[in-house]
A and B are shown apart, each in its own frame.
Chain A
Amino acid sequence: MIYLDNAATSFYRPPGVERAVVEGLRTLGNSGRGAHEPTLRASRLIYGAREQLARLFHAPDASRIAFTCNATEALNTAILGLFSPGDHVITTVSEHNSVLRPLYEMEERGIEVTYLAVDEAGRLLYDKLEESRTEHTRAVVVTHASNLTGNVTDLGRVSEFAGKYGLLLIVDAAQTAGLLTIDVEKYSIDVLCFTGHKGLMGPQGTGGLYVRPGLSVRPLKTGGSGSHSYERHHPSVMPEALEAGTLNSHGIAGLSAALSFIGEAGVTELHEKALGLARRFAEGAGNIRGVRLYGDYAAAERAAIVTLNIGGEDSARVCDWLWEDYGICVRGGAHCAPLLHRALKTGKQGAVRFSFSCYNTKEEVDLALQAVRKLSE
């Protein structure tokens, strides 16, 4: 089997991750729910993971990192928790449904949304940011990298625009956390949403959000917090403000082990290896007759994603052929990015996405290229 579906979820993980989860299952109590050793062990582990994430994202304070079960929950928390009727929000057609659907929901509750368009390579039309703004604009919600094309957003440019007008900047880092350097202070990011199971190589069911000090987000969930038990309202102090119920300490144990690995190996080093493989594949696939690539491959900074179609062949069928005949795992069909599919005119055909990790090899890339070549004949 050749696993090239890392943008969906990581499959090969640092060896310490599995060990940490098993160890967690054997040793951890419920974090924040007492002072006996098993519960303190869980509290220490979760606090340590917050610190690791704060370091990774250059956040000023570990308490500004709240855990969720994935990026979708983090994005729902931010989008449903920050806006009110009458607000206007700028987002982009590159967004995943985890951004779009909460925004659609908020549109029904009375906010207005403008969707920044892209060009034929899926590049955001930054020049249209200014004309997208209204007197009610409150925020820009933007993906750091498209899960469909792998194009990376120029956060410097968006941040400058948001800063100029005092807008909140909410970033979806589902495809970049652990892969690209993210500095929340440098780009004045107000909320950063991430998942633990893709680039961070932790277990599924982990994720979270960073919230800038001083910014208050209405919680998506309320309930048990291990603190302020006699108050009617959920605590408003971070991180408990955005965490209700028992945290996934076993998953976070695995995530913490993955973060340790990434810290030692280096974000840039790991990404360069994956991106090098993606570029090798893109270069080869781009030379195959009948293959069309989607995305900006001339850009210096990209996610390690290569998306293509073979002639007019249905992408789900190509995806299944790759699995059945070659044992290659990729993603076909629609990629939860409906507006971008429409913009790239792949609404009906979908697209075949190859996504690479530091654990893939050149040999696997070349075998995948051979398979695409064969299917294109």
Chain B
Amino acid sequence: MREKREYILLTFQTTSEAMAMERFCGKREIPGRLIPVPGEVSAGCGLAWRMPAEEFPVYETAIRDSGILPENRVRLLL
């Protein structure tokens, strides 16, 4: 099996919000990428922004100030 790693997942209500987050993070060089929402996570939109858990605190404020409101934030081994 693939070795698992801890990530923070931000989920969204709509694809548009997920795309806005990807655009925002890309512009600010915030690490991560969009992934399909894993089955154990309940989310409206099928896309989640995934970033390494250890890097999340560095960018947490920037993400919060982006104006894009995630539906949920989840810590998960993937």
- Give B41-56 as 1s and 0s: 1 = Cβ < 8 Å from A's Cβ atoms: 0001111000000000
Are the C-beta atoms of B15 and A240 separated by less than 8 Å? yes
Q: Which residues of B contact A237 (CB under 8 A)?
A: 13-14, 44
Q: Is B76 an interface position by the 8 A CB rule?
A: no
- Determine how close the nearest CB of chain A comes to the CB of B66; give it in whole angstroms: 14
Are the C-beta atoms of B16 and A44 separated by less than 8 Å? no
Q: Which residues of A contact B36 (CB under 8 A)?
A: 34-35
Mostly, the B contact residues are mixed
What total count of A-B pairs have CB within 8 Å? Answer: 60
Number of interface residues of A (CB under 8 A): 22
- Give A8-42 as 1s and 0s: 1 = Cβ < 8 Å from B's Cβ atoms: 00000000000000000000000111110000100
Are the C-beta atoms of A44 and B14 separated by less than 8 Å? no
Q: Which residues of B contact A226 (CB under 8 A)?
A: 15, 45-46
Are the C-beta atoms of A227 and B34 separated by less than 8 Å? no
Are the C-beta atoms of B15 and A32 separated by less than 8 Å? yes
Q: Is A186 an interface position by the 8 A CB rule?
A: no
Are the C-beta atoms of A47 and B23 separated by less than 8 Å? yes
> CB-nearest residue of chain A relative to B16?
A63
- Give A186-200 as 1s and 0s: 1 = Cβ < 8 Å from B's Cβ atoms: 000000000000000
> What separation, in Å, do the CA atoms of A266 and B36 have in the docked complex?
39
Q: Which residues of B contact A227 (CB under 8 A)?
A: 13-15, 44-46
> What separation, in Å, do the CA atoms of A32 and B17 have in the docked complex?
11
Q: Is B35 an interface position by the 8 A CB rule?
A: yes
- Determine how close the nearest CB of chain A comes to the CB of B48; give it in whole angstroms: 8
With a 10 A CB-CB cut-off, give which of B16, B19, B44 has the most chain A CB atoms. Answer: B16
Q: Which residues of B contact A32 (CB under 8 A)?
A: 15, 45-47
- Give B8-36 as 1s and 0s: 1 = Cβ < 8 Å from A's Cβ atoms: 00000111111110110000000001111
> What separation, in Å, do the CA atoms of A167 and B23 have in the docked complex?
36
Q: Is A43 an interface position by the 8 A CB rule?
A: yes
Are the C-beta atoms of A228 and B44 separated by less than 8 Å? yes
> What separation, in Å, do the CA atoms of A227 and B43 have in the docked complex?
8
- Determine how close the nearest CB of chain B comes to the CB of A29; give it in whole angstroms: 13
- Determine how close the nearest CB of chain A comes to the CB of B41; give it in whole angstroms: 13
With a 10 A CB-CB cut-off, give which of B13, B15, B17, B46 has the most chain A CB atoms. Answer: B15
Are the C-beta atoms of B19 and A43 separated by less than 8 Å? yes
Q: Is A235 an interface position by the 8 A CB rule?
A: yes
> CB-nearest residue of chain A relative to B12?
A227
> CB-nearest residue of chain A relative to B37?
A35
Q: Which residues of B contact A46 (CB under 8 A)?
A: 19
> What separation, in Å, do the CA atoms of A118 and B23 have in the docked complex?
48
Residues 29-75 of A contacting B (Cβ, < 8 Å): 31-35, 40, 43-44, 46-47, 50, 62-63
Are the C-beta atoms of A239 and B14 separated by less than 8 Å? yes
- Determine how close the nearest CB of chain B comes to the CB of A73; give it in whole angstroms: 19
- Determine how close the nearest CB of chain A comes to the CB of B62; give it in whole angstroms: 20
Are the C-beta atoms of B34 and A40 separated by less than 8 Å? yes
Are the C-beta atoms of A31 and B15 separated by less than 8 Å? yes
Q: Would you give 30 A-B contacts (Cβ < 8 Å), ordered by A?
A: A32-B15, A32-B45, A32-B46, A32-B47, A33-B46, A34-B36, A34-B46, A35-B36, A35-B46, A43-B15, A43-B18, A43-B19, A44-B22, A46-B19, A47-B16, A47-B19, A47-B20, A62-B20, A63-B14, A63-B17, A63-B20, A226-B45, A227-B13, A227-B14, A227-B46, A235-B14, A237-B13, A237-B14, A237-B44, A238-B14
